[in-house]
Amino acid sequence: MADSSDNEPAAAEGDSITQTPVGDLVLEKDFDMLTALRGVLIRGLSPSALNQFLNCSLQFYFARLAKFQEAEEVEEKLGADGFGTVVHEVLENLLRPFAQEKRPLTAAELPALLQQVPDEVARAMRQEEDERHARPDEGLNHVLGQVAAQLVRRYLEGLPEQAGALPLQVSGLEEILQTEIPITLPSGDTLPLRLYGIADRLDELPDGRLRVVDYKTGLVQAHELRLQKRGEDADAATQRLLTDATPSADKVRQLWLYRFMLERSGRPAADAAIISLRNLSAGPMTAEMGFLTEDGTSFLDKGQELLTNFVHRILDPAEPIRKTDDLVRCQYCPYKGICAR
């Protein structure tokens, strides 16, 4: 999900940058830094922002506090993010009438939807052309447009083959989820943490409960969404959710927070799942979260507990802001020139 609606405060001028003997760029959490971090939490923390903090708190600082702008270049190629946007927009436009009219998508309506795919892809590509100056009819962009159309067609064509996939009752598309949670700080003060995110799709299941669906244009395997490994107890999986800076943990945290926000708003949330358009035979892949309630704690109470842990860590003055040790992540970071990676 894109978090273009992020609206955190800029970092204060007093933030101090120090250089350790091994060349690790470090920002100490002084009074001004902690004030800015509190502002981020109060104004709104998204799943991707939380994952960014856990993966590289320095990148989080550059993007969410210092507000450093990524280099803006005229892109002639669509790029991976633009490709994902096209696929999301096409699926949203195709399913919108069913959500608005509150009618289920059935197998009988698939042929008409399939006929619309080329026009919807062309419309989405034109939108990307306007925003990115990426010509949709030239070179690689033309190929990516064809791939996008193929992915969408395969998804629609595969629905009748998935048990229970049809009829599909779409309850919402690109729906903003948000909630506010009072977090008790070590000082005894209460911080009103605002969580928000945008769900690609909400499905109404036959029993009336809702499922949050997140599309991924890349390959995702079901095992990536299982944080509790064979033979491990619930505490080990919970700790992985709290601390792991891995693609698997990132995905589970995102789905966990979507489900938490939905359920906390009073809407019955049964599930949170990923649909990988490169692994369509798997259908909606659920993030197994049973370990969170294995001790008898409710899903919402456990969520409050874990979010308190995250907030305490973000505001812990003993844990400075520093760059990741994972050099692979640095290859794709827009700020790598700043921290000399």
pLDDT in tens, the chain (341 residues): 444 444 433 343 334 433 333 457 899 999 999 999 999 999 999 999 999 999 999 999 999 999 886 654 434 445 667 889 999 999 999 999 999 999 999 999 999 999 999 999 999 988 877 665 555 555 577 788 899 999 999 999 999 999 999 999 999 999 999 999 999 999 999 999 999 999 999 999 999 999 999 999 999 999 999 999 999 999 999 999 999 999 999 999 999 999 999 999 999 888 899 999 999 999 999 999 999 999 999 999 999 999 999 999 999 999 999 999 888 888 888 888 888 76
According to the model, what pLDDT value does residue 135 have?
A: 56
According to the model, what pLDDT value does residue 129 have?
A: 72
Pairing, β 210-216 against β 269-276: parallel
Triad 252, 313, 235: Cα angle to 5°: 50
Contact 335, 68 (CB under 8 A): yes
Closest Cα to residue 332, out of 89, 132, 79, 133? 79
Task: Examine residue 167 and say whether the peptide bond preceding it is cis (omega within 30 degrees of 0).
Answer: yes
Cα–Cα distances in angstroms (integers) from residue 280 to residues 18, 149, 219, 256, in the given order: 48, 15, 9, 22
Query: Is the four-CA dihedral 225, 256, 319, 26 of positive or negative sign?
Result: positive
